[in-house]
Structures are given as structure tokens and as C-alpha cells.
Amino acid sequence: MTNLFGAYILTTAKFLSIFGSVLYSIFAFVVVRQVTLMCKNVYDKFNSILITFSYIHFFTALLLIPLTLIFL
């Protein structure tokens, strides 16, 4: 493994993963905001479920940041 990638490549992969997970968390937050706005515009039976899903998605994305820091 070390022959093929080396410590330098693994470190690059780690930083890229952290950067990616932070970016993804921002995206997940935008999704939460947008779902909330959509639900204000159009109200239907499943709105609360969709908002819940968007929050679960956001918190999972947030959880990915410490996971990346710990695992890699």
C-alpha cells in the first residue's frame, strides 16, 4: 500500500475528505432551508416527514466531519 500511495497521498485524501464533508454539510443545510421554504409555499400531508428527513440528512452530514477526523 505504502509503495503505491504513500503517506503523502493518504494525507491528501484525508484533507480532501474533510473538505468534502464540510462542503456536503453546507449543502445539507441548504436542503433543510429549502425544504422549509417549500413547505411554507405548498402545504400537504407529508411536509413534516420531508422536513424530518432533511434534518436527518443534515445531522448525518454533520456527523461525517468528526468521523472523517477520527477515522482517517
Contact indicator for 62, 4 with CB cutoff of 8 Å: no
Contact indicator for 18, 62 with CB cutoff of 8 Å: no
Give the other-Cβ count within 10 Å of 49's Cβ.
9
How many degrees, rounded to 5, is the angle at CA 58 between CA 55 and CA 63? 125
Q: Closest separation between CB of residue 68 and other proteins, Å?
A: 6
3-62 positions binding other proteins, by CB under 8 A: 4-5, 13, 17, 20-21, 24, 27-28, 30-31, 34-35, 37-38, 40-46, 50, 53-54, 57, 60-61
Residues that bind other proteins (CB under 8 A): 1, 4-5, 13, 17, 20-21, 24, 27-28, 30-31, 34-35, 37-38, 40-46, 50, 53-54, 57, 60-61, 64, 67-68, 71-72
